[in-house]
Amino acid sequence: MDDPDFQPILVGLRVEIRPIRAKDWQEMFAAAADPLIWEVHPVRDRYREPYFREFFDGAVASHMAFAIVDRSSGKIIGSSRYHGHDPERRELEIGWTFLARSHWGGSYNREIKQLMLDHAFGFVDTVVFMVGETNWRSQRAMEKIGGIRRPQLCDRAYHGVTTAHVVYEIEKPRR
């Protein structure tokens, strides 16, 4: 069996999701350099250059991350990535997603997640999302797109600090 394509180009009505590139740094940092984007995130300082640089470099090195481009303007408005593919369990994580505030509250997040889910369901049966326990904004967004909260929490470490995360899942639709 061929390895899944973890960095396809996905095109929707409003966004193009394409592999992140090192040369995206300046434009992506400009989209992320807003403290309000990160105010309920476990890494609240990610709007600052050294913290975002670590996030960005990790995204590029993962070979599973994306730049999210607004098709009407051609500008980068955020990022997301796949992570932790488990072929045995047929499971994959989508996470590390952020959007510029100019694109909050509409249908952008739903379209981004749907494009990524549709692609992932070509090789997995379950997609999971790990959301910081106090990140109520992302928890609400997960519920809006049909995420089902698992009963257990999971821990994830950032800069040596362990933070509890809520785990949501979405299963491949049965046909």
Cβ-Cβ contacts under 8 Å for 29 (sequence gap 6 or more): 49, 52, 53, 56
Q: Is residue 156 in a domain?
A: no
Q: 160-163 long-range contacts, Cβ below 8 Å, gap at least 24?
A: 161/42, 163/42, 163/132, 163/133
Strand pairing partners for 83? 93
Confidence of residue 108 (pLDDT cuts 50, 70, 90): very high
Task: Assign residue 90 the CATH number of its domain.
Answer: 3.40.630.30
% residues pLDDT > 90 (the chain): 84
Q: Is residue 30 in a domain?
A: yes
Strand pairing partners for 155? 164
Domain that includes residue 90, residue range: 10-127
Q: Is residue 147 in a domain?
A: no
pLDDT (average), residues 57-64 = 97
Res 13: pLDDT: 97
Q: Is residue 81 in a domain?
A: yes
Res 1: pLDDT: 52
Mean pLDDT, the chain, whole residue set: 94
Total number of domains constituting the chain: 1
